[in-house]
């Protein structure tokens, strides 16, 4: 078995058997491609069947020079998954990463924005700005409001469909990781902004492939993840915000602000689309006042 066949079969397995999203499949593929590149540079072997512990050790040592602990841990995890797949398909009997330890990493607390920061960012948008006749100012404001008010991942935002909007019921349908769908509440303010954008959108020349895609670029095609990052980066620069932020920062802020205002963790988990409640629990570390208030409110010795 050679690498092309192994990698193609693995990608098919990830998508069909495990139901992973395209982004996740691409990330797993990238891990394996890094290993293949190392093997080719060092003229080691053209077959994943012949990879042993020593080869993997040499590879990890080389990439460690350019990757931080978190990235190394993710790479090791991705490769371990690939060789587990080969064992599952009876191509190998052992996993060469079994004796490779992942680096110890702390649990990184997500960066968040204050409500004031978010207001400043959105206020900095030039609502009169057009490009090729498209009012991208209104579009950008709607994008940021949707990210923040619904707690979406950037991939969920750019793939949002018009047919996913259920404004009469007050929800939008979101397709998350592994193509899992969930319904997220959407407030009236954000609904109004989306309707304004949709009215602008009607006058655009739209690529037939993206007729149902909500947010489009000035050429009538789907926005890229990089474009959303650029919009946010430019706004942060415009207001001299001394933080490194991304679309995910709005998602973190959504969860943190809900928790601060009394929302329960289970509800936040459902809205974020976290498979495990432990993933959502990281926001408890951001709002220690919530823990204190809970103790003072519910503990039987609170008045002692």
**CB burial of residue 184 (10 Å; 0-12, 13-18, 19+):** buried
What tokens were used for 48? 């994943």
* Beta carbons of 283 and 256 less than 8 angstroms apart: yes
Active-site residue set:
153, 177, 248, 251, 274, 283
What tokens were used for 167? 């404004």
In the β-sheet with 165-166, what is the strand arrangement from edge to edge?
165-166, 171-175, 181-185
What is d(CA 255, CA 9) in angstroms, rounded to the nearest whole number? 38
DSSP 221: S
* Beta carbons of 250 and 113 less than 8 angstroms apart: yes
Secondary structure (3-state) at 47 = coil
Helix or strand holding residue 73 (H, E): helix 69-88
Residue 104 CB contacts under 8 Å (≥ 6 apart), including other chains: 69
Secondary structure (3-state) at 183 = strand
What tokens were used for 249? 């920062």
Q: Across the strands, what pairs with 213?
A: 161
């Amino acid at each position: 078995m050679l690498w092309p066949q192994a990698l193609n079969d693995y990608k098919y397995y990830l998508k069909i058997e495990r139901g992973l999203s395209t982004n996740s499949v691409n990330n797993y593929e990238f891990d394996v491609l890094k290993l293949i590149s190392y093997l080719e540079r060092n003229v080691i072997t053209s077959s994943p069947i012949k990879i042993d512990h020593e080869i993997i050790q040499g590879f990890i040592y080389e990439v460690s020079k350019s990757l931080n602990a978190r990235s190394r841990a993710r790479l090791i995890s991705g490769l371990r998954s690939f060789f587990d797949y080969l064992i599952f398909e009876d191509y190998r009997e052992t996993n060469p990463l079994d004796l490779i330890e992942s680096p110890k990493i702390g649990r990184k607390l997500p960066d968040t924005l204050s409500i004031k920061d978010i207001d400043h960012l959105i206020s900095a948008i030039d609502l009169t700005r057009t490009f090729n006749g498209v009012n991208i100012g209104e579009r950008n404001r709607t994008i940021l409001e949707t990210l923040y008010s619904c707690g979406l991942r950037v991939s969920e935002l750019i793939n949002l469909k018009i047919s996913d909007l259920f404004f009469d019921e007050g929800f939008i349908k979101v397709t998350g990781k592994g193509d899992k769908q969930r319904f997220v509440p959407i407030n009236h303010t954000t609904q109004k902004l989306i309707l304004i954008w949709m009215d602008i959108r009607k006058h655009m020349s739209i690529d037939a492939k993206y007729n149902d895609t909500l947010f489009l670029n000035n050429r009538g095609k789907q926005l890229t993840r990089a474009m959303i990052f650029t919009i946010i980066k430019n706004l942060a620069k415009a207001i001299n915000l001394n933080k490194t932020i991304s679309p995910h920062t709005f998602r973190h802020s959504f969860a943190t602000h809900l928790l601060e205002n009394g929302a329960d963790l289970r509800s936040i988990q459902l809205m974020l689309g976290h498979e495990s409640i432990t993933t959502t629990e990281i926001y408890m570390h951001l709002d220690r006042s919530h823990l204190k208030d809970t103790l003072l409110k519910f503990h039987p010795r609170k008045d002692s």
